[in-house]
Amino acid sequence: MRVILLGCPGAGKGTQAKLIAERYKIPQISTGEILRSAIKNGTELGKKVKAIMDEGHLVSDDIVIELVKERIQQPDCKNGFLLDGFPRTVIQAEALQQQTSIDQVIDIDVPEDEIIRRITGRRIHPASGRTYHVLYQPPKIADTDDITGEALIQRSDDSEETVRKRLAIYETQTAPLKHYYQHLKSTDQSEQGLVYTKINGIGSVDEIKNQIFSALEHGQKELSHAKNH
């Protein structure tokens, strides 16, 4: 099962990706995590990536494509994988299509005002990485970590101005992927068929998870039926 999870920043892709990976025993490949570890390790690439992300811009296709190509060739991807946050552009999708065929695309759809509420409310304890949300998961004392009592911060790329920039970039660069995959499905250019499903991203984690699992299972049946005919 080779799955792509689409959705704008803050749509809940990361949370759902972990649940899908666990259920279907496939690795979750998040370019965000690959890039963040490069930043944390302070490599030359990491410094370059940090500057780009702090500005609210996207990292170049070349850098991301190389990272992902390398990753999907690892032995743990033999039975499939879940891509979370990649591809971000049609160019990346075309590069990926040359490497491997994708079975299913799940698109988590959330309105812009809800995204802004979700992202700007996030607070982080820098030392441990513990995360809170001022509305949905507040700390016991405002702006203070529950365990250490140290101050929480808002990441620079979680400010409203940066979030609006990221959403505008998403609309221009990533939203066209929906049409790309719908077209790929309708023209049957993917080697073994492709199933594209849009999911309503408003609701509890469990409600969204159940919609996704049901879509994936339905999609696998559809693909299996197509292969046998």
How is the chain split among helix, strand and coil, in percent rounded to 5? 50, 15, 35
The amino acid that residue 132 corresponds to is Y
Find the angle CA(108)-CA(112)-CA(113) to the nearest 5 degrees.
125
Per the residue annotation, which of 71, 118, 123, 166 is the catalytic one? 166
Q: Tell me whether residue 13 is one of the annotated catalytic residues.
A: yes
Q: Tell me whether residue 164 is one of the annotated catalytic residues.
A: no
Query: Following DSSP, what letter does each residue of 90-137 receive, concatenated?
Result: HHHHHHHHHH----EEEEEE--HHHHHHHHHTEEE-TTT--EEETTTB
**CB-CB contact of 58 with 48 (8 Å):** no
Per the residue annotation, which of 13, 118, 123, 209 is the catalytic one? 13
Per the residue annotation, which of 2, 118, 122, 209 is the catalytic one? 122
DSSP β-ladder status, 122-124 and 131-133 = antiparallel
DSSP reduced 3-state for 143: coil
Per the residue annotation, which of 155, 178, 185, 198 is the catalytic one? 155
**Which residues touch 153 (CB under 8 Å, ≥6 apart)?**
123, 124, 126
Distances (CA, A) of 140 to 60, 117, 119, 133: 40, 20, 20, 11
Query: Following DSSP, what letter does each residue of 178-212 receive, concatenated?
Result: HHHHHHHHHHT-STT--EEEEEE--S-HHHHHHHH
Q: Tell me whether residue 118 is one of the annotated catalytic residues.
A: no
Per the residue annotation, which of 2, 88, 123, 209 is the catalytic one? 88
Tell me which residues are annotated as active site. Answer: 13, 88, 122, 155, 166
